[in-house]
Structure 1
Amino acid sequence: MAGNPRNGRPYRRLVAAQKALGLPCWLCGHQIGYQLDARHPLSFTLDHLVPLSRGGSLLDPANARSAHRRCNSARGNRTERTAPSKTSWKW
């Protein structure tokens, strides 16, 4: 019985490699708080250019993007790159 692939070593390596790049959020362009607690809205999450629910690859580095937790959540599984409204969020 296989476990959750997001708990596996290959996924953790991909997350670590993406974090090490120190890139800004690909959705809004603002810097990510890489040192923040993972539950913080401005913390890093690994987003997928092609959402997993739409056939995107979990482990393909070409499908990996750095995003804020709230930007990633706001985008959901849409395929378009939708920047959040900057007027409604306090940066």
Structure 2
Amino acid sequence: MAKRWDGRPYRRLTAEVRRLGDPCWLCGHDIDLTLDPRSPWSFTVDHVTPLSRGGDLLDPANARSAHRRCNSSKGNRVTPRAVGPTSRRW
């Protein structure tokens, strides 16, 4: 049986990751949980090992908080794209 994105176990995992309140694991900035889900800066769950590369949809160890934009730019890479040195002033 295929695992589903719209099932109760996935919604539970998303709620658990969201409840942690962690910053985006890709850029390090805080995530505003009040934003509309369609906003590029809204909360999403990113899978460290992409599902297309064998990652588990429901494994909490594979799930991290991310901005929608950061998650989309990562694509199905296992490691985030290097963006060069960042300022410590953020």
**Scaled by the length of structure 2, what TM-score is found?**
0.87
Aligned-partner Cα distance in 2 for 1:84–1:41? 18
Give the equivalent residue in structure 1 for 2:30.
31
Task: Report the CA distance between 1:84 and its aligned residue.
Answer: 5.1
Segments of structure 2 that go 5 or more residues without pairing to the other structure are: none
Aligned-partner Cα distance in 1 for 2:43–2:16? 12
CA RMSD of aligned residues (A): 2.3
Matched, 1:12 2:11: yes
Q: Is the contact made by 1:71 and 1:84 (CA closer than 8 Å) also made in structure 2?
A: no
**Scaled by the length of structure 1, what TM-score is found?**
0.86
Aligned-partner Cα distance in 2 for 1:19–1:48? 14
Task: Report the CA distance between 1:16 and its aligned residue.
Answer: 0.3
Give the equivalent residue in structure 2 for 1:75.
74
| CA shift in 2, pair 1:44/1:84, >3 Å | farther
Give every structure 1 segment of 4 or more consecutive aligned residues whose post-TM-superposition deviation is greater than 3 Å: 83-87
Q: Is the contact made by 1:48 and 1:64 (CA closer than 8 Å) also made in structure 2?
A: yes
Segments of structure 1 that go 5 or more residues without pairing to the other structure are: none
Taking the TM superposition and a 5 Å limit, the aligned residue runs for 1:49-64 are: 49-64=48-63
